[in-house]
A and B are shown apart, each in its own frame.
Chain A
Amino acid sequence: MDVGQMQRQWLDYTRSLFIEGFLDNQFLQLQQLQDENNPEFVVEVVSLFFDDSERLLKDLNFALDQQGVDFKKVDAHVHQLKGSSSSIGAQRVKNACIAFRNFCEDQNVEACLRCLQQVKQEYCLVKNKLETLFRLEQQIVAAGGSIPMMELGF
């Protein structure tokens, strides 16, 4: 595959992530903050998001596993996860967190456990997608090409 083909593949893949709702406009915002002097910015922020999320998902597991569930704590963790997913544009994770918080209010353990599963699933999906995207970027750069700029009007 030549650089041009790889770039087209990257564009198609990125577009699909938006169309399928995995990513929203905030991700584009982050891409626009990247330049030759900060070529790894998006990867760095997303890595922080991955670390943060994995910690929060563990904490959520733990909190919901308790005899007397502290829903305030659960809600606080979900709120944090909602915040960081929103900040990187991980739309489906964010939406799953919003739904989760509603069940925290109801103090419904069963429903919360289901929500946690949903959030985990969305997180795993977007993690895979982003890692695939970053691999494509690495290939383009290794072949001497540059990452295209996503346009807003697609």
Chain B
Amino acid sequence: MDCDGVVSGVRMGEASEEVHVLAVDDSLVDRKVIERLLKILACKVTAVDSGLRALEYLGLDQHKIPSQSNGFVEGLKVDLIITDYCMPGMTGYDLLKKIKESSTFREIPVVIMSSENILPRIDRCLEEGAEDFIVKPVKLSDVKRLKDYGVGGRINKRKLPDTTEPDLSSSPPSDSSSLLSSSPSISPSPPSIIDSPIRRLKMTTATHD
């Protein structure tokens, strides 16, 4: 691992520090809601209105000279990125790709939100490295489930490569709007996105980094 302390989320024992979430959504209403949801779970939130602003915030702004666009920003610690899919200009998918292309930030879990439960879209995002996919409108139970990605999420996955992930959320899966409970073609019973073939493949390749 060539990442140093700039990238959080892979360090252990960070429970005492706040989880810092970067939320990206062009809708002011949705930004307000997601911010509140995350703050209730004691996360620190930075909310921006576009993919470009998110990249700027991360220091991945390509308008800067190359040596300044490698994403090194003094003191920046982002544990989780949650982004809307449909945004004018840069979509959440485009942003996801940029983040996964960055050696500094590719380890940060990225979650995609969308009002449309379109299976090919979801698959494409997961294949590109998205950690999870939330169908809007976003509820507290959705965000509760995510919080665990921000702190020690990857460590959990390494420990449990082939078993069902324990239920991280305190609320029953039936009122979650995750893709697994709302999508007709995937078994409605318990959780894990970890169980999908795509996820298992991702984890296998990830542990060989």
Contacts and interface: CB of A to CB of B under 8 A. Distances in A.
Contact of A48 (B28, B40, B139, B140): B28
B30 A41 contact: no
Nearest to A29: B139
Nearest to A80: B27
A143 to B, nearest CB: 27
Contact of A82 (B36, B37, B115, B139): B115
A97 B161 CA distance: 43
Interface residues of B, number: 17
Contacts of A84: 27, 29-30
B32 interface: yes
A86 B32 contact: no
Contact of B86 (A29, A32, A79, A88): A79
Interface string B28-49: 1110110011001000000000
A30 B36 CA distance: 9
Contacts, number: 52
A19 interface: no
Given A32-B140, A86-B137, A45 B40 contact: no
Interface in A17-65: 26, 29-30, 32-33, 38, 41, 44-45, 48-49, 52
B140 A88 contact: no
Contact of B29 (A32, A38, A79, A87): A87
A83 interface: yes
B24 to A, nearest CB: 14
B27 A83 contact: yes
A45 B140 contact: no
B33 A45 contact: yes
Given A79-B86, A86-B115, A87-B33, A52 B28 contact: yes
B32 A44 contact: yes
Nearest to A38: B36
Contact of B33 (A30, A38, A82): A30
B36 A29 contact: no
A79 B32 CA distance: 18
B144 interface: no
B171 to A, nearest CB: 12
Given A52-B28, A83-B30, A33 B115 contact: no
B136 interface: yes
B178 to A, nearest CB: 15
Given A26-B137, A49-B29, 14 more contacts: A26-B139, A33-B33, A44-B32, A45-B32, A45-B33, A52-B28, A52-B29, A76-B88, A82-B115, A83-B29, A83-B136, A87-B27, A87-B30, A87-B138
Interface of B: 27-30, 32-33, 36-37, 40, 86, 88, 115, 136-140
19 contacts: A29-B140, A32-B140, A33-B37, A33-B40, A33-B140, A38-B36, A45-B32, A45-B33, A48-B32, A52-B29, A80-B27, A82-B115, A83-B27, A83-B29, A83-B136, A84-B27, A87-B30, A87-B138, A89-B137
